[in-house]
Amino acid sequence: MRTGEELLAARRVVVKVGSSSVSGDRAGQIPTLVENLARLHRAGADVILVSSGAIATGVPFLRLDERPDDLATQQAAAAVGQNILVNRYQRALTTHEIIAGQVLLTAQDIENPTHRGNARRAIERLLQLGILPIINENDTVATHEIRFGDNDRLAALVARLIGADRLVLLSDVDALYTAPPNQVGAQRIAHVPYGDSLAGIEIGESQSGWGTGGASTKVQAARLAADAGAHVLLTETRLLSAVLDGADHGTRFDAVPETESEAANVAR
């Protein structure tokens, strides 16, 4: 079965999209992204979107030329940008008669058992009601010391939290490569079996001025989700439509084999 068929047959899918894909000049990609989310929704999957982009979206409205360095201005940009970003998503989702529900989390919410349980119940109830949760880090209250670090990790933790069987990590890079993609001789890694250490692979950091996660954070997030039983696809936002149509793009990470997962549950 192709990756697209697997996604369309999934029970529960978490899709994460990076700042560089939905802000600035690329904010126009939101309707196409939403069309793909609606396609998964129509196929019967529970769909959860983890979206970066609040700060990047808010910056132009604060009349700033670049991402601010100080925490207070980042929080102000996030407060403005989150409102605008969710509004853009909802306008696109309305075309498909889907309602979004905003969920903002902090690292402490995931670490604290009570908060974590509350977050899980809220997301589960939204899904039961046919709502598409849009999750982001609560940048207006997060600090440099207590952050997820990037939304790839947040998406993986959400996938674990709600028992997703698929995680899709979307960015402006089409796949994982054996070396930085702009390097001569770099080759796409189409498939990463569970437990593969990717020895000898040069994994880089973020090259974007807006996003915080590079290839290394995506690999770490993929492994975190795979350990919990979710198969992972890493690809470019613009290629998701083609993947759902059956094209072979991106990098697939296998989930832990069911036998190992069951053994781990018994050991707990």
Number of structural domains in the chain: 1
Q: Residue 239 and residue 245: Cα distance in Å, rounded? A: 10
Q: What is the mean pLDDT of the chain?
A: 89
Structure letter (DSSP) for residue 137: E
**Strand pairing class (251-253; 231-236):** antiparallel
- C-alpha 69/C-alpha 85 separation (Å) is 21
> Known binder of ligand: residue 151?
yes
Tokens of 73: 């201005």
pLDDT digits (tens, 9 = 90+) for 73-105: 989 999 999 999 999 999 999 999 999 999 999
Q: Which helix (H) or strand (E) holds 155?
A: helix 151-162
The rounded percent of the chain whose pLDDT value lies above 90 is 68
Is 69 annotated as belonging to a binding site? no
Whether the per-residue pLDDT at 30 is higher than 70: the answer is yes
On the question of pLDDT at 265 being above 50, the answer is no
Mean pLDDT of 210-238: 86
Mean pLDDT in residue range 43-55: 96
| Cα separation, 21 vs 34, whole angstroms | 12
Residue type, 241: S
Q: State the DSSP code for 9.
A: T
pLDDT over 70 percentage in the chain: 88
- Helices and strands of the chain, counted as H and E runs: 11, 10
DSSP string, 50-106: EE--HHHHHGGGGT-SS---SHHHHHHHHHHHHHHHHHHHHHHHHTTT--EEEEEE-
The closest of 258, 231, 248 to 12, measured between CA atoms, is 231
Query: Do residues 152 and 213 make contact, with C-beta atoms less than 8 angstroms apart?
Result: yes
Kindly report the CATH number assigned to the domain that includes residue 72.
3.40.1160.10
Tell me what pLDDT residue 143 has.
Answer: 61
Known binding residue 196? Answer is no
Q: What is the mean pLDDT of residues 178-194?
A: 88
Q: With a cut of 50, say whether residue 145 has pLDDT above it.
A: no
pLDDT tens-digit readout, 97-113: 999 999 999 888 998 99
Q: Please provide the DSSP assignment of 22-57 as one string.
A: HSGGGGGGHHHHHHHHHHHHHTT-EEEEEE--HHHH
pLDDT score of 209 more than 50: no
- Length of the chain measured in residues: 268
pLDDT digits (tens, 9 = 90+) for 149-165: 678 999 999 999 999 99
Range of the domain at 99: 3-267
Q: Known binder of ligand: residue 171?
A: yes
172 appears as a binding residue in the annotation: yes
- Establish whether 139 is an annotated binding residue: yes
Sequence-distant (6+) residues with CB within 8 A of 139 are: 54, 55, 74, 75, 78, 79, 82
Q: What is the DSSP letter of 194?
A: T
